[in-house]
A and B are shown apart, each in its own frame.
Chain A
Amino acid sequence: MINFMLVIIRRDLLLVARRPAELINPLVFFVLVVALFPLGVSPEASVLSQAAAGVIWVSAMLATLLSLELLFKLDYDDGSLEQLLLAPYPAWSLVLAKVIAHWLVSGLPLILLSPLIANLLFLPTQAIPTLMLSLLLGTPTLSLFGAIGAALVTGVRGGGILLTLLILPLYVPVIIFGAAAVVAASQGMAVDGYMALLAAMLVFALMITPWAAGAALKL
C-alpha cells in the first residue's frame, strides 16, 4: 500500500513539474492578496502588524481553496481516477496520497514563503517561528478537509463555488486558532494551547477525512 501511495505521489509531483503553472498560481495568488492589503487598508506599520496574522492566514486559506478544486477533477476527467479506484487498495489511501502531493506543492511552498510575507506586513520577528509552525500544522488540515469537498464536487460542473460553501465552515476553527496563535506570539504570550489545538485538529482530520473523501469519491 505504501508503494501504491508513493506511485500516486510521484506521479502528481511529476505532473506539477511538467506544468509549473499549477504550482505557481496559488503562490502568486497568496502573495498578491497579501500585497494588496496595505494598499487597501493602510501602509502604516502599526496597523499592518496588528492585521498581519489574520491576513496571512486568510490568504493561505484562499490559496488552498483555489488549488483544491482540481484535486480530483483532472483525474476524473481523463479517467485515471477510475484506474486509481480500481486498484486493490482502500480509497482512503488514494485520498491520503493525493492530499500529501497536494500539500507538498501548495502548503509547503506557502510556509517557506511566509517569513518574507510576514516581514512585508511588519509582523514582529518573534512571531515568525510561531507563524511557520502554525501554518505547518494548519495547512495540512486545510488540504485534508478540502479533500472531502473536492471529492464531493468531482463530477459536478462548476463545482468551485459549491466546494467553497461546503468546506468554508470546516476551515473556520483552523483560521481562528492559527491566527490567534500568531497574535499571541507577537504579543509575547504563550502559544502552547493554540498549537495543541491545531495539532489536535490535524490528527482529527487525518483520521476522518481520507475515509470520508474516499467514500465520497465512490459515489
Chain B
Amino acid sequence: MSSIPTSSLLCVNDLACERDSRCLFSGVNFSIAAGDLWHLKGHNGSGKTTLLRLVAGLHPIDVGTISHPSTHAKIIYLGHKLGLKEQLSADENLAWLVGLESSSTQQERYAALEKVGLKGYEENTIATLSAGQRRRVALARLHLCKADIWLLDEPFTALDQQGVEDEESWLRQHTLSGGAVLMTSHQNLSIQPVKVLDLSHYTPAKTSCSSSAL
C-alpha cells in the first residue's frame, strides 16, 4: 500500500472522524483500485458505517481527504436502510432507484430480479416480502447500475446461505471485471483475494482526534 497504483479509483488519505466528541478513527489510509475487494472490519461502534458513508459522500469530511485520481468513478452505496418504498412493487422500486441516474427497461429489471432469485415476485409490493427478499431487491440494483465501486454495509444481513454464496459470486465477478468493492461484514468472506482493513487498529487511545477540529 506504500505506492498508489495507477489504476486506483479512490484514495483515502489520513482520514479521521469525530462523532459526538468521540474520535472514532484517525489516520486511515487506503486506496481502492480496480479489482480490489476491501473487507472493512472492526468491533461494533468502531466507525465502519461512518467510514462507508464518508466515502459515499453522505457526510462532510472533518479531517483528511478522499480523492478520485482517475475519472470520477461511479459509486453505488447500499446501507442498512435499503431505500425501498413499502407500497411500491419490487419492479417499481428498481425503476425509480435506477432512474435517478440512468434508465432501465422492464426487461432488464425483471432479469436482474431473476438473477437475485426473485422470479415471480416482480409485482409484489415490498411490504409483502420478507427481510431477506427485500435485501435481494436492493441487491438487484447492483446488477442494473453499472457502478465501478460498490459500497456495501453488511450486505449479507438476512440472507439465507444460498443468498450469501450467490452474493459472494457476484462480488467476485464484479472485481474480476474491473470493479471494486468496499464492504463491511462480521462474517469472513470465503472468496479470495480480500484486502482487510481493521478499523479497531485506528481507534485512538484518547477521546478526541489529534488535530482538534472545532
Contact = CB atoms under 8 A, between A and B. Distances in A.
A4 B101 CA distance: 7
B79 interface: yes
B100 interface: yes
Nearest to A4: B100
Q: Which interface class (under 10, 10 to 19, 20 to 34, 35 or more) fits A?
A: 20 to 34
A7 B99 contact: yes
Interface string A83-100: 111111000000000000
Given A10-B96, A86-B56, A86-B57, A80 B101 contact: no
A192 B100 CA distance: 41
A7 B99 CA distance: 6
B177 interface: no
B90 interface: no
Contact of A82 (B79, B88, B92, B101): B79
A83 B86 CA distance: 15
Contacts of B84: 78-80
A192 to B, nearest CB: 42
A83 B85 contact: no
Nearest to B127: A18
B156 interface: no
Given A15-B88, A86-B56, A86-B57, A79 B101 contact: no
A11 B96 contact: yes
Interface string A1-37: 0011001101100110011000000000000000000
Q: Which interface class (under 10, 10 to 19, 20 to 34, 35 or more) fits B?
A: 20 to 34
Contact of B99 (A3, A15, A18, A80): A3
A15 B85 CA distance: 8
Nearest to A88: B101
A82 B81 contact: yes
A19 B84 CA distance: 16
B82 interface: yes
B83 interface: yes
Contacts of B58: 82, 85-86
7 closest residue pairs by CB, A with B: A79-B81, A18-B87, A79-B83, A7-B99, A87-B100, A80-B83, A83-B83
Given A10-B96, A11-B96, A18-B87, 18 more contacts: A3-B103, A4-B101, A14-B92, A77-B81, A78-B81, A78-B84, A79-B81, A80-B84, A80-B97, A82-B79, A83-B83, A84-B100, A85-B58, A86-B58, A86-B75, A86-B77, A87-B101, A88-B101
Interface of B: 56-58, 60, 75, 77, 79-88, 92, 96-97, 99-101, 103, 125
16 contacts: A4-B100, A7-B96, A11-B85, A11-B88, A18-B125, A19-B87, A78-B81, A78-B85, A79-B80, A79-B81, A79-B84, A82-B79, A84-B100, A86-B56, A86-B57, A86-B75
